[in-house]
Structure 1
Amino acid sequence: MPDVDSSLFALGELPGIPEKIDAARAALTQLRWHEALRRRIPEAAAESRVRGAQASAALEGANIPVEVVRDVMRGAAQWPTDPDPVELVARGAVQATAESEHVRGLVGTAPLQALARLHVAAAGHLLETEQVGRPRRDEEGSAEFTDLGPAPAPAEVSARLDALSQVLTADPAVPALVVAAIAHAEVATVRPFLRGNGIVARALARAVVQARGLDPTGVAVLEAGHAAQGGPAYLGALAAYSTGSPQGLGLWLEHCADSLVAAARAGEQVCDAVRAGRLT
Structure 2
Amino acid sequence: MTDLLPALHQLAELPGVQDGVDEAREACTRLRWHQALRRRIPEAAAESRVRGATASAMLEGAEPAGSTLSTAVVRDLVRGGLEGQERADDPVLRVVAGVVRATAATEHLGASHLRSPAQVLASLHAAATGGLLPMAQVGRPRAAGETCLEWTELGPAPGPDELRERLAAVHDLLAAVVDGGAPTLLVAAVAHAEIVAVRPFVTGNGVVARALERVVLRVGGLDPTGVAVPEVGHADRAGTDYRGALGAYVSGGPDGLRLWLLHSADAVVRAAAEGTRIADAVLAGRLG
Shorter-chain TM range is over 0.9
Quickly say closer, same or farther: Cα 1:185–1:27, change in 2 above 3 A: same
- Corresponding residue for 1:86? 92
1:102 Cα deviation after fit:
1.4
- Corresponding residue for 1:274? 282
Q: Pick from 69, 78, 93 the counterpart of residue 74 of structure 2.
A: 69
- Corresponding residue for 2:17? 17
1:163 Cα deviation after fit:
0.9
Cα deviation 1:158-212 (Å, max 9, x = unaligned): 1111111111122514211000000000111110000100000000000000010
Equivalent position amino acid for 1:131 in 2 = Q
Q: Out of 35-44 and 72-81, give the one that drifted further.
A: 72-81
Q: Are 1:106 and 1:114, in contact at CA under 8 Å, matched by a contact in 2?
A: no
Tell whether 2:226 aligns with 1:215: no
Paired with 1:146 and 1:107, the residues of 2 have a C-alpha distance of 31
- Corresponding residue for 1:154? 160
Q: Are 1:107 and 1:208, in contact at CA under 8 Å, matched by a contact in 2?
A: no
Q: Pick from 246, 249, 261 the counterpart of residue 238 of structure 1.
A: 246
- Corresponding residue for 1:109? 115
Q: Pick from 180, 183, 189 the counterpart of residue 191 of structure 2.
A: 183
Q: Are 1:96 and 1:200, in contact at CA under 8 Å, matched by a contact in 2?
A: yes
Quickly say closer, same or farther: Cα 1:24–1:262, change in 2 above 3 A: same
Equivalent position amino acid for 1:207 in 2 = V
Tell whether 2:203 aligns with 1:174: no
* Structure-2-length-normalised TM-score: 0.93
Q: Which runs of 5+ in 1 are unaligned?
A: none
Equivalent position amino acid for 1:209 in 2 = L
Paired with 2:101 and 2:81, the residues of 1 have a C-alpha distance of 15
Paired with 1:140 and 1:252, the residues of 2 have a C-alpha distance of 28
- Corresponding residue for 2:7? 7
- Corresponding residue for 2:232? 224
Quickly say closer, same or farther: Cα 1:173–1:229, change in 2 above 3 A: farther
Q: Are 1:179 and 1:208, in contact at CA under 8 Å, matched by a contact in 2?
A: yes
Cα deviation 1:224-259 (Å, max 9, x = unaligned): 000013322111100111122111111000000000
Paired with 2:112 and 2:13, the residues of 1 have a C-alpha distance of 27
Q: Are 1:185 and 1:241, in contact at CA under 8 Å, matched by a contact in 2?
A: yes
1:6 Cα deviation after fit:
2.6
Paired with 1:210 and 1:14, the residues of 2 have a C-alpha distance of 25
1:105 Cα deviation after fit:
2.8
Quickly say closer, same or farther: Cα 1:134–1:2, change in 2 above 3 A: closer
Quickly say closer, same or farther: Cα 1:11–1:243, change in 2 above 3 A: same
- Corresponding residue for 2:137? 131
Q: What is the identity percentage for the equivalent residue pairs of Structure 1 and Structure 2?
A: 56
Quickly say closer, same or farther: Cα 1:265–1:126, change in 2 above 3 A: same
Output the aligned Cα RMSD.
1.7
Paired with 2:269 and 2:203, the residues of 1 have a C-alpha distance of 29
Q: Are 1:31 and 1:268, in contact at CA under 8 Å, matched by a contact in 2?
A: yes
Cα deviation 1:7-51 (Å, max 9, x = unaligned): 111112211100000000000000011111010000000000000
Equivalent position amino acid for 2:49 in 1 = R
Q: Out of 265-274 and 96-105, give the one that drifted further.
A: 96-105
- The alignment of Structure 1 onto Structure 2 pairs a total of residues equal to 280
Q: Which runs of 5+ in 2 are unaligned?
A: 64-68
